[in-house]
Amino acid sequence: MKQVKDIFIIDDDPMQSMMLQDYLSKYSTFTIHVYNSGEEALKHLDINPQIIFLDYNFDKAGADAMDGVEILKELKQHIPLTEVVMFSGQDKIEVAVNTMKYGAFDYIVKSESAFHRSENVIFNIIKRMKLQGEATMYKKLTYSLGIALLLVIIIAIWLYKTGNISDNPGWI
């Protein structure tokens, strides 16, 4: 099972980033990396974060800055297994659906409950990763048992054909 070691926060609002980082820092098992733009974060993908909190609008980062959906597409292209959680001040269902369409794990509206929701999302991602690990283990176990059963059948057939075993118990 893959563990969550690194979390990216990508937001052009330093206050929002600092508050989220402070809220999540109570979990000392995570290393939190904060970036002010998507372009800056894309340069550090070699860290291979397991979770990314990504702002939807980057209007403070400059006119030529990529928006959240463009960054999301780039992230999913380079690190498809990383879960991306979109953060936005927009409480519009169309925006949420659009981000989910491009691979976001969840969409959180910046509000009083946003930090608590972000904590829940992290736990949901960890739970999902654990379940995926268990499913992979059970799948491998099922294949192994199937192969073992097939080998037993092949050996039994071979022993029968060579005369080492028979359907005659020997006392008849």
Please state, for a pLDDT cut of 90, what percent of the chain lies above it: 52
- Least confident piece of the model among 2-16, 74-88, 92-106: 2-16
Output 142 or 116, whichever has higher pLDDT. Answer: 142
Is the pLDDT assigned to residue 144 strictly greater than 90?
yes
The C-alpha atoms of residue 6 and residue 81 are separated, in whole angstroms, by 13
Please state, in angstroms and as integers, the Cα–Cα distance from residue 156 to each residue in 139, 149, 166, 168, following that order. 26, 11, 10, 15
pTM: 0.79
Q: Which domains does the chain have, with CATH numbers?
A: 6-133 (3.40.50.2300)
pLDDT for 39-58, tens place per residue? 999 999 999 999 999 999 88
Res 1: pLDDT: 44
Q: What is the mean pLDDT of residues 22-51?
A: 89
Output 30 or 50, whichever has higher pLDDT. Answer: 50
